[in-house]
Amino acid sequence: MATQMSGAGGYKSIVFLICAVAALGGLLFGLDQGFIANSLDTLTSHYHLTVSQKENYSAILATGGIIGALLSGIFARVLGRKKSILLAGFIFTLFSAYSAVLPSLAILSACRFALGFAVGIASFVVPLYLSETAPAAIRGSMGTLFQLMITIGIFLISLSNVYIARSVASPDVALPMMFLVIAVFAALMFFGGFILPESPRWLMLQGKRDEAIAVLRRTLNTQAEIDLEVGEIEQVLRGLKSAGFGIVFRGYFFRVLLVGVLLQMFQQLVGINVMIYYAPTIFGYANMKGLVALMAVPTVNMLSTFPAIALVEKWGRKKLLYVGAVVMLVSMIAAGLAFQSIGAHTGAADVGELQKTVLLLAVVIYIVGFAVSWGPVVWLVCSEVFPLEGREVGMTITTMVNWTFAGLVMANALTFMEANGNASIFYLFSVFCVLAIAFVAMFVPETRGITLEAIEFNLKSGVPLKRLGDQAASGSHTQTTS
Ligand code: BGC
């Protein structure tokens, strides 16, 4: 077969396409996650939502996410990676476009459930596809790209929703436009997905060696690179097969699963999505309704993700988790105090400037604290600590836990504030920050600079969880790559 090889070192254009479509997967995750904050008033005007209807519509994305994450492994295995991406793109396109016709609230909620389902699939399949298809040298940065795209998605939809809400007076016109913005990006992902090559690893898994090699010819530059990759895939396929869900009953796996589960639980219980979803509502309680109140959280969240990329390697995972949790703890107490002193003035025009400033600063500092630490680090550690044969099961379960607690928090936050006072929820989050710090100190390993094989060796040798990343404990497994 005639092959078109570009010069060694550069990447072929198909590689950029792979990255772009995959980036759209992360972007759509963010677009759906960030949609609520600056559309809630418009949604409320059109659908006359009560507080609990607002919460339920926001949270149903997470319910879809749980089911999507649960089934994503099956889709990836049975349909293949490419068709799973197409399926997610199709669901994204269909249901965001259908939301734009402004159906009844029940149907609109069903659409958001379906969007969550697609997010659940995309958040598993897209990183998997990238790790199997992007050339080895850029795989690491691809994982970070996905995270970054989520925060860019949250930022973009916040901005476009503010713009639409301010330039179109009628909610009946503004709301369809907001949904159509998501539909445009979704359609790009869906149609772009057709040009993607299938994952060579999946093709080899299906016994389609020739097709796999044909894909590698399209993505790699030299015959030597192709041979190396084929050799590596064959070695992996000859090795350990992925275990089923039964692996959770093996002692060593169960122990490390608890670390992942609790990390994901705390990532949500410190309250991030209350800020992502409801910051404009909360700032509204303090009578702050300007652009800063609407855009501060998504902007700072996106910008703070960039330093995180370098800091996870420089400082290590645990140090970032500690620093992030302390920053969030202090800022949540400050936000609670600000609301306590606003007291009876909630929502009124005469809220003091000092309280407003403290509240805004507290929330912004909180977001910096989360975005450089618990945001990316939890996902990273969950991708590192599971032994190879149970990585798929471990990541599926921990992702489902993330969505479960995200849903719980979103479905109850506003009612909780209404029942217990606005300050209460911030104090509650600060308690979870303290518990999170204690949990990190007692059980979370530092996984910087140690191979995944060495972590696995430690785990199976019964090394305490906290020391899983220790070089000394792993004996001969002392090389330091990641
Ligand atoms: C969390 C999401 C959150 C996002 C904010 C992620 O790490 O899992 O729930 O919305 O960060 O950037």
Per-residue pLDDT 10s for the chain (482 aa) are 333 444 445 778 888 888 888 789 899 999 999 999 999 999 999 999 999 999 999 999 999 999 999 999 899 989 999 999 999 999 999 999 999 999 999 999 999 999 999 999 998 898 888 878 887 777 666 667 888 899 999 999 999 999 999 999 999 999 999 999 999 999 999 999 999 999 998 999 899 999 999 999 998 888 998 998 888 888 877 776 677 888 999 999 999 999 999 999 999 999 999 999 999 999 999 999 999 999 999 999 999 999 988 888 888 899 999 999 999 999 999 999 999 998 766 767 778 899 999 999 999 999 999 999 999 899 889 988 898 888 889 989 999 999 999 999 999 999 999 999 999 999 999 999 999 999 999 999 998 888 888 888 899 989 999 999 887 665 544 444 33
Q: What is the pLDDT of residue 15?
A: 87
**329 C-alpha to center of ligand 1: Å?**
18
Q: Point out the ligand 1 atom lying closest to the alpha carbon of residue 305.
A: 12
Q: Note the CATH number of domain 2-480.
A: 1.20.1250.20
Q: At what angle do helices 13-34 and 136-167 cross, to 10 degrees?
A: 40
Give exposure, 25-38, as e/b (b: 16+ Cβ within 10 Å).
bbbbbbbbbbbbbb
Q: Output the ligand 1 site: residues, CB below 6 A.
A: 33, 150-151, 154, 267, 272-273, 276, 301, 375, 402, 406
DSSP string, 70-102: HHHHHHHHHT-HHHHHHHHHHHHHHHHHHHTT-
Is the distance from CB of 348 to CB of 400 less than 8 angstroms? no
Nearest to 321 by CA among 244, 262, 277, 399: 262
DSSP string, 157-208: HHHHHHHHHHH---HHHHHHHHHHHHHHHHHHHHHHHHHSPPPHHHHHHTT-
Q: What's the Cα-to-Cα distance from 49 to each of 44, 56, 106, rounded to whole Å?
A: 5, 10, 12
pTM to 2 decimals? 0.88
Task: Name the residue at shortest CA distance from atom 11 of ligand 1.
Answer: 375
Q: Point out the ligand 1 atom lying closest to the alpha carbon of residue 150.
A: 12
Determine the straight-line distance between the first and last CA of the chain, rounded to whole angstroms. 36
Mutate to test the pocket of ligand 1, among 36, 272, 382, 403 (most ligand atoms within 8 A of CB): 272
**272 C-alpha to center of ligand 1: Å?**
7
Nearest to 328 by CA among 262, 270, 381: 270
Nearest to 193 by CA among 122, 282, 116, 141: 122
Backbone angles phi, psi at 348, to 5 degrees: -80, 160
Q: What is the pLDDT of residue 83?
A: 96
